[in-house]
């Protein structure tokens, strides 16, 4: 072969290879990717339906999902979703563990329709009938909107398991730490308020048969035992009798008040259309209403375990908010109208002695359900946290011993913004040991808090002002602005109106946080200083019964 022929042949070969490279992507498009292909640890897990989400209108609307955020340029953009692992088919065992819409609704209802409702009639007595009803309705609708902000954020970052993971995406490891501490404290305060309510019921039913501290131990052990089963499906099953218990309790209270009247039926009701409270009283009543919608912070844990979160979560949370807001308004209005100024907080104390005991006895299952939902939510976060970091320490130890190469940043749960949501594999015994430790640690802290602040209203107010204001409303505002970064919040009049609504919610958060905390501490100190109050300190054996 001549030199010219050789040159010509090489040139033809290069052209052919170039043509093959140009056409190769087209040919690959016709070949489906294997569902068993390896995936990165920060990619979406089985809860993510990649094909459905790619067809979701949210991904077409460029205003909702900004893949070029300054703080996290490529996390959660369309390329992440395209590479997400496929959902398991219905024949796979993992698919059977996912929550349906109805199961999510019942968990959400149990999450919110509980102890917070028992303080609403007293809030109406403080604020007045119409201002109180208006506050319940407005706060319910605002909590529905902020819950929708959660699923919007999840659609862009679908690898998050709980509200703490949302904090890592929003601001990195330092904000994740703040979210973790605040989230656990708030979960503990809410669970402590359920614990205090149980001690009130036990003292009422038993006529103070034992020291109140003993009743806190019994209640904490019962809630701990309910949290031992490591399954959100167990929570959904247990939520049915718990919700039925709360509804039965409410019906007993309303029917009894309608038949017997309040504790002293000869005293005039003195209903207030518009109240005239002091600043501390008004803020405390408003915080009690805000506390009734405390469930949003636990919603991300349930969202991560739903079959199709993008489609089902908005539907489930809308149903739940409509149910809970309606129940709150009906119960608060009816109980206040029938008991007047004699209304107590919790509302069960408004009844005459015998029926108060009956209603508290019926409410025990519902109160245990409140502890179950919030305790399970907190324990599941602790379990994931401990498992991730135990695995991280093992890898570091292996790296130190030279047994394996240093893991990449993407696989390191302590580095970067894309932390792995996958719980590292461990032996069954090790996994259960970490789970039992997580549940036990949480309920020990709850028991200490319930004895340190043994006043029902004060626990509600401190939780609502310090933390609930952020976890239910404040951080979702930050999520919305993060999704609409780089001026998109003012790109149209609709966006500008939504931005104004979010700014109003943030102002409301600061009002609950600063004046609310002052009012909460002032009210707690007043209770301790009141000589007519039997509860005059922490870890008290005093009788806190309602009658």
Peptide bond just before 346 cis, omega within 30 deg: yes
127 contact partners, CB below 8 Å, separation of at least 6: 135, 275, 277, 282, 285, 286
pLDDT on residue 12: 55
**Is the model's pLDDT at 267 over the cut of 70?**
yes
Q: Which residue has the higher pLDDT, 416 or 211?
A: 211
pLDDT confidence band for 315 (50 / 70 / 90): very high
The whole-number average pLDDT for the span 482-490 is: 86
Nearest CA to 206 out of 356, 322, 68 is that of 356
- What is the tens place of the pLDDT at every residue in 154-178? 999 988 888 888 998 998 888 989 9
- What is the tens place of the pLDDT at every residue in 206-262? 888 888 899 999 999 999 999 998 777 888 888 888 888 888 988 898 999 999 888
Contact 340, 128 (CB under 8 A): no
* Window from 405-409, 431-435, 444-448 with minimum mean pLDDT: 405-409
pLDDT on residue 393: 66
- What is the tens place of the pLDDT at every residue in 357-367? 898 889 888 88
The helix (H) or strand (E) run that includes residue 111 is helix 101-112
Q: Which residue has the higher pLDDT, 72 or 279?
A: 279
* Window from 83-97, 322-336, 354-368, 496-510 with minimum mean pLDDT: 83-97
The two tokens of residue 277 are 């409270």
- Mapped onto helix, strand or coil, the DSSP state of residue 99 is strand
CATH class of 97-395+426-529: mainly alpha
Domain ranges of the chain: 97-395+426-529
On whether the pTM is more than 0.75, the answer is: no
Q: In the predicted model, what is the mean pLDDT of the chain?
A: 76
**CA–CA distance from 165 to each of 373, 410, 463 (Å)?**
19, 15, 21
pLDDT on residue 295: 78
The whole-number average pLDDT for the span 74-101 is: 43
**Is the model's pLDDT at 460 over the cut of 80?**
no
**Is the model's pLDDT at 83 over the cut of 50?**
no
Give CA–CA dist 234/317, Å, rounded. 20
The whole-number average pLDDT for the span 87-92 is: 37
The whole-number average pLDDT for the span 441-457 is: 85
């Amino acid at each position: 072969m001549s030199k010219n022929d050789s040159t010509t042949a090489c040139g033809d070969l290069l052209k052919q290879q170039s043509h093959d490279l140009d056409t190769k992507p087209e040919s690959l498009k016709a070949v489906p990717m294997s569902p068993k292909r390896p995936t990165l640890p920060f990619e979406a897990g089985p809860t993510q339906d990649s094909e459905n989400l790619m067809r979701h209108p949210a991904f077409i609307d460029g205003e909702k999902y900004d893949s070029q955020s300054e703080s996290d340029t490529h996390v959660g953009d369309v390329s992440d979703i395209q590479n997400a692992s496929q959902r398991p088919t219905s024949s796979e065992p993992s698919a059977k563990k996912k929550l349906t819409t109805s199961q999510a609704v019942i968990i959400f209802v149990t999450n919110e329709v509980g102890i917070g409702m028992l303080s609403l009639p007293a809030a109406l007595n403080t604020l007045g009938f119409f201002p109180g009803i208006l506050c319940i309705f407005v706060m319910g609708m605002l909590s529905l909107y902020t819950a929708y902000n959660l699923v919007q954020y999840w659609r862009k970052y679908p690898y998050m398991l709980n509200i703490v993971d949302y904090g890592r995406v929003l601001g990195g490891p330092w904000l994740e730490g703040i979210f973790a501490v605040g989230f656990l404290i708030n979960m503990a305060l809410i669970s402590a308020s359920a614990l205090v309510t149980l001690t009130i019921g036990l003292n009422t039913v038993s006529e103070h048969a034992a020291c109140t501290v003993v009743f806190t131990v019994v209640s904490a052990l019962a809630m701990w035992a309910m949290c031992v089963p490591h399954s959100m499906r167990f929570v959904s099953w247990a939520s049915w009798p718990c919700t039925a218990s709360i509804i039965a309790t409410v019906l007993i209270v309303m029917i009894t008040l309608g038949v017997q009247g309040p504790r002293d039926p000869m005293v005039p009701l003195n209903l207030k259309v518009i109240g005239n409270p002091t600043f501390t009283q008004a803020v405390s009543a408003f915080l009690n209403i805000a506390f009734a919608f405390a469930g949003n912070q636990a919603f991300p844990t349930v969202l991560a375990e739903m079959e199709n979160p993008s489609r089902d979560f908005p539907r489930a949370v809308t149903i739940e908010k409509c149910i809970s807001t309606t129940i709150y308004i009906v119960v608060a209005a009816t109980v206040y109208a029938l008991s007047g100024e004699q209304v107590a907080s919790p509302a069960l104390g408004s009844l005459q002695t015998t029926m108060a005991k009956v209603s508290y006895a019926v409410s025990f299952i519902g109160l245990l359900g409140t502890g179950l939902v919030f305790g399970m939510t907190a324990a599941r976060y602790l379990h994931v946290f401990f498992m991730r970091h135990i695995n991280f320490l093992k890898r570091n130890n292996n790296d130190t011993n030279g047994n394996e190469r240093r893991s990449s940043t993407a696989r390191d749960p302590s580095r970067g913004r894309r932390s792995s949501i996958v719980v590292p594999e461990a032996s069954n015994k090790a996994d259960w040991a970490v789970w039992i430790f997580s549940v036990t640690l949480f309920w020990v802290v709850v028991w200490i808090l319930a004895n340190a602040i043994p006043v029902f209203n004060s626990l509600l107010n401190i939780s609502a002002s310090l933390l609930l204001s952020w976890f239910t409303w404040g951080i979702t505002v930050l999520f919305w602005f993060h999704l609409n970064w780089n001026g998109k919040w003012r790109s149209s009049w609709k966006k500008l109106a939504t931005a104004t609504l979010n700014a109003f919610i943030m102002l409301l958060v600061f009002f609950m946080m600063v004046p609310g905390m002052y009012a909460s501490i002032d009210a707690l100190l007043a209770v301790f200083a009141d000589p007519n109050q039997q509860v005059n300190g922490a870890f008290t054996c005093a009788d806190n019964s309602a009658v």
